[in-house]
Amino acid sequence: MAPIRLIILGATGSIGQNARAVLEEHRDKIQVEGLVARSRFEAVHDFALAFDARWVGLTDPAAADRLRQFAPDRPYRLITGMEEVVETIHESSATTVLAAMSGFSGLRPTLAALERGMTVLLANKETLVAAGDLVKGVAAAHAAPLVPVDSEHSAIFQCLGLDQPVRRIILTCSGGPFRGMTREQLRHVTVEQALAHPNWRMGPKITVDSATLMNKGLEIIEAHHLFNTPFDQIDVVVHPESVIHSLVEFVDGATLAQLGWPDMRVPIQVALSWPDRWPLSGAPLSLTDRPLTFMPPDEEAFPALRLARQAGIAGGLYPAVLNAANEEAVAAFLARDIAFLDISRVVEHTLSVFSDTRPATTLEDILATDRWARQTAAAWIHERARTP
Ligand code: NDP
Ligand code: MG
């Protein structure tokens, strides 16, 4: 088999570093072509040296300057700024891109990879939430495969296997650090508590999304796009142990699940090796050392799930509004400008004043809507921050 020539968008993040651990075990199968980060230049430099990367992209120009000083004799090409990164992907001969930048900023380089016909291994769910129809249209036009990396969607992808008729997809959800709490109890939770996820070590944005359950809401929309599943056939069940990564119920009632320890190396490697499977180190799954439990999500205490589902059903540009408002709200919460419960209030307010029913089929419309939603959310946040 010819080696995979890989670009990693978000090489220094949690997914990027889990990918690095997978690459350690499969140096013979994968060549690193390019690594992209925003500003963590020492980490990306270290990664590039370890895997002989041909180029490194830093979207923050100040960080690129620091890398020039830090490593004047670097053996790779240094690309500076998002425009140059997008251009470099457009001209690249890589076969595969792992899209693992956080947030909406992953959209343009992901589109560039799809336009080039590359296989895109998608961790960056915000891209699909905000621009699902556009992303799928570009992927189809260029026969570019889109392979899920998000653990739930990887589980569904693996269960679907053959193209058989599905009755329902069931996404599992750990419930996050605040599972079981009432709205009253959630009023005073802190940033530190929100960042202490019980099962997964992830970047701050997705960790807060896991605490509000917006992560699961985004994943409902992600599943809708990836598997062409209507929203009324996507359910969520809380499963605190994070051992069953999701389930598919077929029309005859037979239900398949994918199990494993919570370890993102597995879905990353499945996406790289599919339809083959490669060996991977790690402790074997034990089914006898803990019970597996399930319960319905509490949409009263965690309204983000309902908001995301409603935005998904409304379709068009609504999911882009949901995503942008949520990104602004999470950043404001992490900056301690608003309280935890305000996050879903920002999202609900921003959705409630949006009334554009056009489809989300052009990049211009999606970018303009994203900007509008951020400004609208920021104005609400500003008001809130001034209210004692
Ligand atoms: P992290 O915050 O840990 O990492 C984000 C990465 O993206 C970093 O490499 C960061 O660079 C880079 N980045 C962010 N903004 C930009 C930008 N404007 N230009 C270039 N690079 C940028 O996030 P995660 O790894 O946790 O998550 C990445 C994506 O994967 C998210 O969309 C998340 O929802 C999804 N995901 C993550 C999972 C996980 O287990 N972590 C599970 C499932 C999905 P720098 O370090 O320089 O800032
Ligand atoms: Mg997930």
Q: In this predicted structure, what is the pLDDT of residue 163? A: 83
Whether the predicted pLDDT of 284 surpasses 90: yes
**Ligand 2 midpoint to CA 67 (Å):** 33
DSSP character string of 185-242: HHTT--HHHHT--SS----HHHHHHHHHTHHHHHHHHHHHHHHT--GGGEEEEE-TT-
Main-chain dihedrals φ then ψ at residue 275, nearest 5 degrees: -85, 10
Tell me how far the alpha carbon of residue 70 lies from the centroid of ligand 2, in angstroms: 36
- CATH number for the domain running over 4-148: 3.40.50.720
Domain 176-258+299-386 CATH assignment equals 3.30.565.10: no
Q: What is the pLDDT of residue 46?
A: 98
pLDDT digits (tens, 9 = 90+) for 180-239: 999 999 999 999 999 998 888 899 999 999 999 999 999 999 999 999 999 999 999 999
Q: Predicted confidence band at 39 (pLDDT cuts at 50, 70, 90)? A: very high
Say if CB 93 and CB 116 are below 8 A apart: no
Q: Which atom of ligand 1 is nearest to the CA of 215?
A: 34
What does the DSSP 8-state code read for residue 257? Answer: E
Taking CA atoms only, the protein residue closest to ligand 1 atom 45 is 38
According to the annotation, is 152 in a ligand binding site? yes
Contact 14, 202 (CB under 8 A): yes
Centre of ligand 2 to C-alpha 365, Å, is: 27
**Interval 44-74: pLDDT, tens:** 999 999 999 999 999 999 999 999 999 999 9
In this predicted structure, the answer to whether residue 76 has a pLDDT above a threshold of 70 is yes
Max alpha carbon distance in the chain (Å)?
A: 63
125 is in an annotated binding site: yes
Q: What is the mean pLDDT of the chain?
A: 97
Going by alpha carbons, the residue nearest to atom 32 of ligand 1 is: 124
For the full predicted model, state whether its pTM sits above 0.90: yes
- Sign of the four-CA dihedral 167, 130, 206, 214: negative
How far is 332 from 265, CA to CA, in rounded Å?
Answer: 30
Q: Where in the chain is the domain with CATH 1.10.1740.10?
A: 176-258+299-386
As for the ipTM of the complex, it is 0.99
**Is there an atom of ligand 1 within 6 Å of 158 CB?**
no
pLDDT of residue 388: 62
The residues of the chain that CATH labels 3.40.50.720 are: 4-148
Distance between Cα 73 and ligand 2 center (Å): 39
Predicted confidence (pLDDT) per residue in 106-147, tens digit? 999 999 999 999 999 999 999 999 999 999 999 999 999 999
Q: Is 34 in the pocket of ligand 1 (CB under 6 A)?
A: no
Mean pLDDT of 321-328: 98
373 in Cβ contact with 133 (< 8 Å): no
